[in-house]
A and B are shown apart, each in its own frame.
Chain A
Amino acid sequence: MDIIMCGVGGQGTVLTSRVVGEAAIKQGYEVRTSEIIGMAQREGPVVSQVRIGTKLHGPLIPDISADYLLGFELAEAVRNLDKLNGKGRALVNTHMVVPPTVYLGISNYPEEQLIDYLKEQTSGLILINANELAAQAGSSKAVSAVMLGAFATLCPDIDETMLLKELLARLPERVQEINTRAFRLGKEFVEGETR
């Protein structure tokens, strides 16, 4: 199983990929993750890749072969859509991080076209406003928890309680309650969408 996670530096894709990876190892799978750390972190585009299974090869997911795409940011989801396979499921946060180049008039952020493109190109698309759900849970920073909860519902192969446990193990005590709530909101949202 190949999962691609993409977003903007600071949104929590690295944390999320570690949580998914560690949860999979606890279930006895082999795991490879790959992340880009360094300069790109500063508001740049970031991609984490997670491969789970038995007899794995390298850390990079080939084009058109990811089973899941977790887009933490709308435009970044579109940017990385080539990785998703035809039957793959895309879980995309509709929250936008508009880069300053747009306000400086150097580039554009065509929101509607991006959403239309996602709808046309993916059969299993779920659009979720993870930032709003995170805020509902008590902190707009709990986006990773929302995305993980949503992913837990989409992907039956990774144990949900394990995912939550691994997430909480990486967070300070004071935000655990908020993140547990955010995880649940993400999960319930997808249950509502797929029912």
Chain B
Amino acid sequence: MAKQLLLGNEAIAWGAIAAGVKVATAYPGTPSTEIFSTLAAQAKHYGFHAEWCVNEKVALEVAYGSAISGARTLVTMKQVGLNVAADPLLSGTYLGVKGGLVLVVADDPGPHSSQTEQDTRQFAGFAKVPVLDPSDPQEAMEMVIEAFDISEKYHLPVILRPTTRVCHVGQDVELPEITSRNSEVRFEKGGDWVIFPSVSLRKHGELLESLKALGQEFSTSRFNYREGQGEYAIACSGVSYHYVKEALHRLNIIDNTEILKISTPYPFPEELAAQYLKKHERLLVIEEQDPVLEDAMLRLAGKIGLHLHLSGKHDAMVPGTGELNVDLVTRAIANWSGNNIKTRQVPAKPELPLRRPILCAGCPHRASFYAIRKAAGKKSDTVFTGDIGCYTLGMMPPLSAVDTCLCMGAAITQAQGIGRAEPGRQTIAVLGDSTFFHSGITGVINAVYNQYPLTLVILDNSTTAMTGFQPHPGTGQTATGEIVAAIDLQKVLEGCGLTFIKTVDPVNLKEAVAAIKEALAYDGPAVIIMKRACINLPEVKGLAPVVINIEKCKDCGLCVTEIGCPALVMETGQKPQVLESCAGCGLCIEVCPFDAIQGGDY
């Protein structure tokens, strides 16, 4: 088959299809999202089931149910999603699976788009789940197929852990052959599927046996190998493998170095590593995130009684945070090996404009945040607890309407904690529709149950915007495009026992501000649903740009400084200007005190 440019995420999806996946589940999260999008687009053609789940725990539980029935099952998420799914993972590993269960958990060193730099290899070791660590898209695709085989052979879930620079890297990839597999899928009653203390003890023993056997098998895996020869010894994993090779070429010591590439950090291939360690007394370990290989080697050296000089993260030879790249790796190897690198001094640059991600022009969240600020009173002391989504960007000035952001759903619960610790302090919790379905509902129930006077603003823009506009239970559309009954936020909230629920359109500024004020004054938990679709949805048509009436405009600049819409600009001493990117949302019309902005009718 001809090679084509595939993203790592696409390659992983095709690998799963080739492996005969029967059920695929996921919750979106950068950098993992496109794995499932690719699968969902192919589900009908290849005859498997694919669904966006409400959150990662649900996704893994659904997947686990399929796997114990004998189906090959894939579940994808980002690294912090695994925290949410930790419960079923740890128990499921004890009980095991029948059909292959592969979790693709994407890590994000850097981090580019995540709350933490947590290392899923580390998590896998804690959960006692085998983990594969691909270095590029081609390898990731081959590894998914292998992961299914391992999972079925050892009856264990297996994690594939790509990083951002595998997920969002394009490579000329050769698609695997897709053959149809006919496996018998039937849940057998009477199996070991009930977790129970005495069962756990027995299963734990079996699990350790399996991991031991698998660790031995990994010593001969084609994904783990020694490469080259020479006095220098460098062990590496994941994308760092490529950085190391390029760095060795640049330093001109590739012909004098023996690399050990470990793609199965857990269970650790001790035999393979032991032979390597016996040959090299001095070595460097290069890996992103946590010192997982480094620790495994230190342990191994202790176990077999080797005297080693092992460099890496523990002696700060390799940076302990952030993403690696060729330059950093070159520097680390140069320092460690005593080779010099040429550096060029770049002349100082002129000042560069500060450019941060911000809400799009016409984003309904901008109107919501502006309304929230107005309702709270400009100088008020109200604490705005925020959450995960595009709307985290509400923290940027001039909106500055997000004071906290912790994890999915925490806007609602953190507000309660702040109010409990500091009675009388006003809080407003803000989160999006998809996040509400993911983990907001339990927090609302907690407020109702414990009688906390919560003021919650749900930004309902009819999509999961940040990760690329996925549907969710409130949108009435499934991953594979079926139209289903949308779950009504209002009814969910009523069911949770709320007595104050109001839906407003945030660009009707006066109405929105009045509604929030009312909610703040309400005796008991109160919710405002800000309903307006994300302007980037294909069904949403942007309106014509607004027009500034130069006669009426008094150069006050408020339209620019109050809301920070990227479509409004104003040079010093000049009138504001509307750029082509204006979506005509009309928020600035409401902001202008002199009625100088027109158009953008609703």
Complex: how many Å from CA A60 to CA B353?
A: 25
Contact of A121 among B347, B352, B358 (CB under 8 A): B347
B353 touches A109 (CB 8 A): yes
Interface of B, secondary structure class, is loop
Nearest B residue to A86 via CB reads: B344
Of the stretches A110-118, A142-150, A152-160, A178-186, the one at the interface is A110-118
A37 touches B31 (CB 8 A): yes
B560 touches A36 (CB 8 A): no
A107 touches B353 (CB 8 A): yes
B5 touches A101 (CB 8 A): no
B353 touches A101 (CB 8 A): yes
Contact of B168 among A37, A78, A114, A140 (CB under 8 A): A37
CB within 8 Å for A44 and B357 given contacts A32-B169, A38-B31, A62-B250? yes
Nearest A residue to B581 via CB reads: A10
Complex: how many Å from CA A104 to CA B398?
A: 8
Nearest A residue to B8 via CB reads: A59
Nearest B residue to A37 via CB reads: B168
Most chain B CB within 10 A, of A34, A59, A62, is at: A59
Contacts of B358 in A (CB 8 A): 42-44, 99-100
A31 at the interface (CB under 8 A from B): yes
CB within 8 Å for A34 and B246 given contacts A40-B113, A101-B355? no
B325 at the interface (CB under 8 A from A): yes
A114 touches B350 (CB 8 A): yes
Complex: how many Å from CA A32 to CA B3?
A: 13
Contact of A108 among B353, B356, B359 (CB under 8 A): B353
B326 touches A100 (CB 8 A): no
Nearest A residue to B330 via CB reads: A62
A31 touches B171 (CB 8 A): yes
A175 at the interface (CB under 8 A from B): no
Contacts of A34 in B (CB 8 A): 165, 168-170
| Chain A: minimal CB distance from B443 (Å) | 24
CB within 8 Å for A75 and B353 given contacts A18-B170, A25-B172, A30-B172? yes
A100 touches B357 (CB 8 A): no
B543-566: CB near A (< 8 Å → 1, else 0) gives: 000000000000000001100111
Interface of A, secondary structure class, is mixed
B31 touches A43 (CB 8 A): no
Complex: how many Å from CA A187 to CA B178?
A: 42
A195 at the interface (CB under 8 A from B): no
Contacts of B467 in A (CB 8 A): 38
Contacts of A108 in B (CB 8 A): 351, 353
CB within 8 Å for A57 and B246 given contacts A22-B4, A33-B5, A104-B397? yes
B86-109: CB near A (< 8 Å → 1, else 0) gives: 000000000000000000000000
B239 at the interface (CB under 8 A from A): yes
Contacts of A107 in B (CB 8 A): 351-354
Contacts of A113 in B (CB 8 A): 350-351
B227-270: CB near A (< 8 Å → 1, else 0) gives: 00000000000010011011001100000000000000000000
Contact of A57 among B243, B390, B560 (CB under 8 A): B243
Contacts of A109 in B (CB 8 A): 353
| Chain B: minimal CB distance from A144 (Å) | 16
B346 at the interface (CB under 8 A from A): yes
B350 touches A8 (CB 8 A): no
Nearest A residue to B326 via CB reads: A62
Complex: how many Å from CA A75 to CA B353?
A: 7
Complex: how many Å from CA A101 to CA B326?
A: 32
A88 at the interface (CB under 8 A from B): no
Contacts of B222 in A (CB 8 A): none
A31 touches B172 (CB 8 A): yes
Q: Which residues of B10-49 have CB atoms within 8 Å of chain A's CB atoms?
A: 30-31
Contact of B170 among A33, A38, A45 (CB under 8 A): A33
Nearest A residue to B166 via CB reads: A59
| Chain B: minimal CB distance from A53 (Å) | 11
B357 touches A43 (CB 8 A): yes
A99 touches B351 (CB 8 A): no
Most chain B CB within 10 A, of A33, A40, A58, is at: A58
B326 touches A60 (CB 8 A): yes
A63 at the interface (CB under 8 A from B): yes
B5 touches A18 (CB 8 A): yes
Contacts of B580 in A (CB 8 A): 140
A191 at the interface (CB under 8 A from B): no
B246 touches A58 (CB 8 A): yes
Complex: how many Å from CA A101 to CA B343?
A: 33
Query: What are the nearest 8 A-B pairs in CB distance?
Result: A58-B242, A38-B113, A44-B357, A33-B170, A107-B354, A38-B30, A57-B246, A113-B350
25 sampled A-B residue pairs with Cβ under 8 A: A8-B355, A21-B170, A29-B172, A33-B5, A33-B170, A34-B168, A36-B113, A38-B113, A42-B393, A43-B357, A57-B245, A57-B249, A59-B136, A60-B165, A60-B325, A61-B326, A63-B327, A101-B356, A102-B353, A103-B570, A104-B564, A106-B354, A106-B397, A107-B351, A121-B347
Sample of 19 more A-B contacts, CB < 8 Å, known A58-B165, A58-B239: A18-B170, A25-B172, A30-B172, A34-B165, A36-B168, A38-B30, A44-B356, A44-B358, A57-B246, A57-B249, A59-B169, A79-B352, A100-B358, A100-B564, A101-B355, A103-B560, A103-B570, A107-B351, A109-B353
